[in-house]
Amino acid sequence: MLSIFQRKPKTCIGIDIGTSSIKVVQLKRSENRYRLETYGELQTYGYLERLNDPLQTKSLKILEAHVIEMVKELLKETGATTKNAVMSIPVFSSFVSVTDLPPMLEKELPRALVFEAKRHIPIPLSEVRIDWKVINKTIVDLEGGLSAGKAGKKGLTKFRVILIAVPKEVIAKYLRIAKALELKLLALELESFSYIRSLVGSDPSTICILDFGARSTSFTVVDKSFIQMSHSLDIAGSELTKALAHGMGIDFRRAESYKRESGLGAGGLGAEKELRDILLTFVDKIVLELERMIDSYQRKTKRKVTKLILSGGSGGLIGLEEHLKKRLKLNIEVANPWARVVRLSLLDPILKELAPRFAVAAGAAMREL
């Protein structure tokens, strides 16, 4: 039962079960600051060997036992001391849509949302948990004009809502993992909310975040520190490695190290050019999607996206920052989830290197503190 005497926990672990690795971050709240207590990452079992395995994608069912073992090992290795945990759910396991509803009375909203959910969610509503939030309201007055603020008694209101649906099966899996690890699961949230918390906080500007991971890439527009648009693509680091391996006739392991060593910075001749061209085919699909999303947001709201934050392990692709700068003509910033976290300064070089991969775990840990 909620009580006014209920205190927020002092320490919490954020857990991000990614396709290529699991990340954990333990933070402590002290005097309105977050303090980094411990962190760690463990490569997912056989990730590179399983690049062609479709089971690696959508359902992690078969991997559940491995995941439990890995998180257990990681928590032990990092010396995590609390059982309080927040876990993040990947964008590719859920359905997220931001929709503008036609003008209506506020009391009509719940029914309209069920209708919208049926339209946007490709599986039966009985199989998903739905969450929604109004992100913008505009009153439509009798003359048809628009004004922001509270709706009058009879006034119609235009709502922009974010709808999030997570399959009950996915939630059950996370609950089983937490139970097996004897964790006190304080919350489960979509990973976009975790990285918005660690990367944007209360910054009111219009920002786009790119989480360029291993299995999927998510794009999020955040404005006035709240999610306004969200989208994801099934093109990410794994796809780049697979394309290099197939295109150059090499195995996944070599393709992975070529990708990391040369990236888009490779020279203009022979094999290096081939590598760069293969990577660019995929990177430019992401750029195109980014352009579309930014353009659509700007046209709809007349607000200008001022910067792009580059997050996720593939965000570390050599030459990506310069390429995006040239193509998008935007300020590009590499994700830094440690910006509001007190940490030992001797850890700074390593934390800087890890930063783009830890935005989700750090943001999850911040949620309940």
**Contact positions vs ligand ATP (CB under 6 A):** 18-21, 90, 213-216, 236-238, 241, 256, 259-260, 263, 312-314, 316-317, 357
Kindly state the smallest distance separating residue 200's Cβ from ligand ATP, in Å: 18
CB 298 within 8 A of CB 162: no
Kindly state the smallest distance separating residue 306's Cβ from Mg ion, in Å: 25
Residue 85 or 317: which CB sits closer to ligand ATP? 317
From 360, 54, 40, 58, select the one nearest 209 (Cα to Cα).
360
Residue 263 or 315: which CB sits closer to Mg ion? 315
What is the spatial distance between Cα 2 and Cα 50, in angstroms, rounded to a whole number? 45
From 49, 248, 22, 68, select the one nearest 174 (Cα to Cα).
68
Q: Which of residues 164-203 bind Mg ion (CB under 5 A)?
A: none
Each residue 196-235 as x (binds Mg ion by CB under 5 A) or -, in order, gives -----------------x----------------------
Q: DSSP letter string over 59-71? A: --GGGHHHHHHHH
- Angle of helix 168-180 relative to helix 64-78, nearest 10 degrees, comes to 40
Kindly state the smallest distance separating residue 92's Cβ from ligand ATP, in Å: 7
What region, left, alpha or beta, does residue 157 occupy, with left being phi > 0 and alpha being psi -120 to 50 degrees? beta
Distances (CA, A) of 260 to 43, 241, 254: 16, 10, 10
Kindly state the smallest distance separating residue 97's Cβ from ligand ATP, in Å: 20
The count of residues interacting with Mg ion (CB under 5 A) is: 2
- Find all residues with CB under 8 Å of 64, minimum gap 6, and list them: 173, 176, 177
Scanning 11-19, 110-118, 174-182, 272-280 for contacts with Mg ion by CB under 5 A, the matching segment is: 11-19
Given 18, 237, 263, 315, the residue binding Mg ion (CB under 5 A): 18
Kindly state the smallest distance separating residue 309's Cβ from ligand ATP, in Å: 13
Scanning 14-22, 141-149, 275-283, 335-343 for contacts with Mg ion by CB under 5 A, the matching segment is: 14-22
Q: Residue numbers of the site for Mg ion (CB under 5 A)?
A: 18, 213
